[in-house]
Chains A and B, each alone.
Chain A
């Protein structure tokens, strides 16, 4: 036995098997367990009386879940498009040998080092009508100035978009900038020869050639959207009312506060399926590339 064990220590397979046991149990075992719970009517504790897909049907009738999903789509689209546009513009501008490029990069990227909790709190204070931007503009004399999105149920979601773009635009910038720097110099020579306006060159030639770069940006941003929890908790806590609820928060609340395990499990499984669906094209191309 010890001899066998010693021989295994020469081989990486031993380590791989040990680590994959852990990953298999804690990732895929947990997912399987969550899926099984989603087929039951467990509330406070797991009980394995199966009811099929009832919880999923239940979700479709749950107003908070529906609102959460719509919010995620609205938030996700605006956040992703906004980050891509701002990040790309910053990358284009920084790609011009400007003075102080390093300083600008540092400034655009530092939000990524800050937690979503602090990000959310900071923007909550800035956008709080009684002390933030609205109060400041009123102090300067515009007494009727109104910027109270944070407290408006139909606007609060946009404050989350602003805060998220603030945090993630730098990520897009750094990835796109790396892509721009690897564009072939001859391509630019050709473009200059043709006398194409610079903005058209970007839209029609350069960016289409950088599709994989944008694809990975989108994958990263989408996974942030699906898992978005901390920022909401810190900034709006889902409110006013349920106007900024999202699926990740729905699931956590129903697991740990409202004690409806099966409904929370169903919600989590749907989140997982959505992640995988979004990820599938990316994983597919990754694997194709390797073969």
Chain B
């Protein structure tokens, strides 16, 4: 512990100030979540008569039920449930495939010590920062050519490919630190590169796999733009359906239903975050550059 002065040696006033600031900040960070949670269980009457910050007169799960199964997006009133199913169906295979692709490519890059391997790294690093806008339209055209634009496999393909620089980089940095003897021993016994990767390297990569899987899960689950453009109407992810429900302001807007819908969309990634805090934090610095 190298800290300059810690709470045990601090004067009382400073200590109070420190905790006061931290608690105030915690409130700032928690406020939106608290407001949304409270209002999602509030009857409409309470919302009409008071502000969002007032406590509910009674707790009702009606808004959750409506958000789940009967809120409207345009003419379709089946709630956010189809969006949730679509998000799961898109996210799960996308995460699995992009973890495998990133691991394989990252391992190959780490193994391959050619002169211009460094230049390939540069291409990947730049790829992390390319705004999607500079790729979107040609990608639409190419996917149309492949016959998968606005389809289930189309959106998965886009998530995997657009995620490649990032998954590759994370795995490559991990595999550079793995002793070469492991791969060499496998090769001596006649295992191919792919064989070595599958039965020797992958099993020792659990940590990095978890880190990448969590970040890809968060990123893909939370994606809006790619889903909107590439998924097609039958596969719209939850984020897109949520905005449709909220912006569908025919008749009286129902903030409590909207908030219940927003929570439903946020719960899966929040659960993953709370369960996997350490891994989430580990990948976060690299993860944040994506999207």
Establish whether residues B2 and A188, one from each chain, have CB atoms under 8 Å apart when the complex forms.
yes
Q: Which residues of B are found within 8 Å of A168, using beta-carbon distances? A: 288
Residues 22-50 (chain A) with a chain B CB within 8 angstroms: 22-31, 33-34, 37, 46
Establish whether residues A272 and B35, one from each chain, have CB atoms under 8 Å apart when the complex forms.
no
B256 to chain A, nearest CB (A): 10
Establish whether residues B139 and A287, one from each chain, have CB atoms under 8 Å apart when the complex forms.
no
Stretch at the interface among A8-16, A56-64, A74-82, A153-161: A8-16
A159 to chain B, nearest CB (A): 12
Tell me which of B3, B10, B26, B131 contacts A108 (CB under 8 A): B26
CB-CB nearest in chain B for A189:
B2
Among B7, B54, B135, B274, find the residue whose CB has the most chain A CB atoms closer than 10 A.
B135
Determine if B216 is an interface residue (Cβ-Cβ < 8 Å).
Answer: no
Determine if A234 is an interface residue (Cβ-Cβ < 8 Å).
Answer: yes
Establish whether residues B51 and A234, one from each chain, have CB atoms under 8 Å apart when the complex forms.
no
User: Given A25-B142, A125-B36, are A117 and B132 neighbors across the interface (CB < 8 Å)?
Assistant: no
CB-CB nearest in chain A for B195:
A9
Q: Which residues of B are found within 8 Å of A193, using beta-carbon distances? A: none
Tell me which of B193, B266, B274 contacts A11 (CB under 8 A): B193
**What separation, in Å, do the CA atoms of A15 and B114 have in the docked complex?**
14
Establish whether residues A175 and B272, one from each chain, have CB atoms under 8 Å apart when the complex forms.
no
**What separation, in Å, do the CA atoms of A184 and B36 have in the docked complex?**
43
**What separation, in Å, do the CA atoms of A180 and B3 have in the docked complex?**
8
Establish whether residues A248 and B133, one from each chain, have CB atoms under 8 Å apart when the complex forms.
yes
Q: Which residues of B are found within 8 Å of A131, using beta-carbon distances? A: 47, 51-52, 255
Q: Which residues of A are found within 8 Å of B127, using beta-carbon distances? A: 23, 27
A104 to chain B, nearest CB (A): 6
Establish whether residues B138 and A30, one from each chain, have CB atoms under 8 Å apart when the complex forms.
yes
**What separation, in Å, do the CA atoms of A220 and B286 have in the docked complex?**
9
CB-CB nearest in chain B for A135:
B51
User: Given A118-B265, A166-B28, are A226 and B131 neighbors across the interface (CB < 8 Å)?
Assistant: yes
Establish whether residues B122 and A283, one from each chain, have CB atoms under 8 Å apart when the complex forms.
yes
CB-CB nearest in chain A for B183:
A12
Establish whether residues B22 and A98, one from each chain, have CB atoms under 8 Å apart when the complex forms.
yes
Establish whether residues B105 and A15, one from each chain, have CB atoms under 8 Å apart when the complex forms.
yes
**What separation, in Å, do the CA atoms of A134 and B62 have in the docked complex?**
27
Tell me which of A93, A230, A272 contacts B21 (CB under 8 A): A93
Establish whether residues A115 and B285, one from each chain, have CB atoms under 8 Å apart when the complex forms.
no
Contact with A along B111-141 (1 / 0, CB 8 A): 1101001101011111101111111111101
Q: Which residues of B are found within 8 Å of A188, using beta-carbon distances? A: 2-4
Establish whether residues A139 and B54, one from each chain, have CB atoms under 8 Å apart when the complex forms.
yes
Q: Which residues of B are found within 8 Å of A34, using beta-carbon distances? A: 134-135, 137-138
Q: With A191-B4, A271-B134 given, name 11 new contacts (CB 8 A).
A: A9-B192, A12-B112, A19-B108, A30-B136, A94-B22, A96-B3, A109-B273, A117-B222, A118-B242, A125-B39, A188-B3
Q: What are 28 inter-chain pairs, A to B, with CB distance below 8 A?
A: A10-B187, A10-B192, A10-B193, A12-B111, A16-B112, A20-B120, A23-B123, A26-B135, A26-B161, A34-B137, A94-B22, A96-B5, A99-B7, A107-B26, A109-B284, A113-B273, A114-B266, A115-B223, A115-B265, A135-B52, A136-B53, A171-B284, A174-B285, A255-B137, A265-B137, A276-B129, A279-B126, A290-B118
Instruction: Give 5 closest A-B pairs by Cβ, nearest first.
Output: A115-B222, A113-B273, A135-B51, A12-B108, A15-B108
